[in-house]
Amino acid sequence: MSLTKERKGFFGRLSERIGDALFMRQKIDEDMMDEIEEILITSDIGMDTTEKIMNELREYIKDNMITLPKNIKKGLTDIIIRLIDKGDRNKLSDKTPLVIMMIGINGGGKTTTIAKLGHKLKEEGKTVMFAAADTFRAAAGEQLAIWGDRIGVNTVMHQEGADPSAVIFDAIQSAKAKGIDVLICDTAGRLQTKKNLMTELEKMNKVVSREYPEADRETLLVLDATNGKNAISQAKEFNEVAELTGVVITKLDGTAKGGIAITIADEFDMPIKYLGVGEGMEDLEEFNAEEFAGGIFNE
């Protein structure tokens, strides 16, 4: 995973601030620890996760008898790696056929993420199909179909306002008939009421289970990193109504503080599958915990 773009955004600023806190001081004291804590919190790392990091950092300093501030960066990096590394869960299933349900609020980059993921999977040699099942957002199907045409992926869609489960049904039949490896379904762009969303998702999942029992499943939540703590609230809400298998964090190339990745991985025990780091089709990168944490110190 290349971290060039993230370094210009989240990593560049956080690395500079952490560096100042560590390397501009001659000794480890409470002022320095308070400054690190403040930096973590203002980088959109939640209070509970920040407290956990700081407690483990104090133990690391004590256990290793560290006296120089610059020598704690390895400990801080290792702590963050432990919080965000979910092992094989960080990787998208490589089994085929595979059905991926993509959910997330409108405006969070869900549709473009689907296009990027479809492109990435095609580059890996897999055949891909889209299902435009977010039928209640105006022109959502047309938007997905345009992306599909650009990257050479067929899109199954119905008219606006159609039953999302009917779209899923037709897409499954088409995917099976054509021997498609991965069916990516654009779904659930609303969170008005948990009950309605849960009912809609349950219905779609039942269709997949009934019509495509041999397919492996992923349910990915797309979150906009620029939304900061609001994105964390979205993760909590969606996690309560859907059996999420992972998160894709978008727009990590801009002004995003990026700490939400650490918070979501820790507080929800949620694997991060991909990072969106730009507008191009190639700008969707597989999440790597060691490189992500190491990027904080430009390592």
Confirm whether 294 is domain-assigned. no
On whether 141 is known to bind a ligand per the annotation, the reply is no
On whether 187 is known to bind a ligand per the annotation, the reply is yes
Confirm whether 15 is domain-assigned. yes
Based on the fold, state whether residues 57 and 149 are members of the same structural domain: no
Please tell me the pTM assigned to this model: 0.88
> Residue 125 sits in which domain range?
89-288
On whether 252 is known to bind a ligand per the annotation, the reply is yes
On whether 125 is known to bind a ligand per the annotation, the reply is no
Could you give the 3-state DSSP secondary structure of residue 177? helix
On whether 109 is known to bind a ligand per the annotation, the reply is yes
Tally of structural domains, the chain: 2
pLDDT the model gives residue 191: 61
On whether 193 is known to bind a ligand per the annotation, the reply is no
On whether 253 is known to bind a ligand per the annotation, the reply is yes
Based on the fold, state whether residues 199 and 81 are members of the same structural domain: no
pLDDT the model gives residue 12: 54
Instruction: Give the CATH number for residue 176.
Output: 3.40.50.300
Based on the fold, state whether residues 259 and 167 are members of the same structural domain: yes
On whether 250 is known to bind a ligand per the annotation, the reply is yes
Alpha carbons within 13 angstroms on the beta-carbon side of residue 228 total 10
Instruction: DSSP letter for 9, please.
Output: I
Confirm whether 265 is domain-assigned. yes
On whether 105 is known to bind a ligand per the annotation, the reply is yes
Confirm whether 296 is domain-assigned. no
Residues in the chain, pLDDT under 50: 1, 5-8, 256
Confirm whether 259 is domain-assigned. yes
pLDDT the model gives residue 254: 54
pLDDT the model gives residue 92: 96
Based on the fold, state whether residues 282 and 177 are members of the same structural domain: yes
Residues 241-244: contacts with CB under 8 Å, at least 24 apart: 241/194, 241/197, 241/198, 241/201, 242/101, 242/103, 242/188, 242/197, 242/198, 242/201, 243/219, 244/219, 244/220, 244/270
Based on the fold, state whether residues 76 and 139 are members of the same structural domain: no
Based on the fold, state whether residues 167 and 233 are members of the same structural domain: yes
CA-to-CA distance for 201 and 194, rounded, in angstroms? 10
On whether 155 is known to bind a ligand per the annotation, the reply is no
Based on the fold, state whether residues 66 and 138 are members of the same structural domain: no
How many helices (H) and strands (E) in the chain? 12, 8
Based on the fold, state whether residues 93 and 72 are members of the same structural domain: no
Note whether 187 and 103 are within 8 A (CB).
yes
On whether 71 is known to bind a ligand per the annotation, the reply is no
CA-to-CA distance for 144 and 238, rounded, in angstroms? 22
Confirm whether 125 is domain-assigned. yes
Based on the fold, state whether residues 164 and 181 are members of the same structural domain: yes
Torsion angle, alpha carbons of 195, 198, 199, 203, to 10: 180
Confirm whether 236 is domain-assigned. yes
On whether 111 is known to bind a ligand per the annotation, the reply is yes
Based on the fold, state whether residues 133 and 278 are members of the same structural domain: yes
Instruction: Give the CATH number for residue 13.
Output: 1.20.120.140
Based on the fold, state whether residues 141 and 277 are members of the same structural domain: yes
Beta bridge partners of 276: 284
User: Which among 87, 121, 154 is the end of a domain?
Assistant: 87
Confirm whether 293 is domain-assigned. no
User: Which among 61, 87, 113 is the end of a domain?
Assistant: 87
On whether 86 is known to bind a ligand per the annotation, the reply is no
On whether 190 is known to bind a ligand per the annotation, the reply is yes
Based on the fold, state whether residues 215 and 115 are members of the same structural domain: yes
CA-to-CA distance for 120 and 104, rounded, in angstroms? 20
User: Which among 87, 116, 132 is the end of a domain?
Assistant: 87
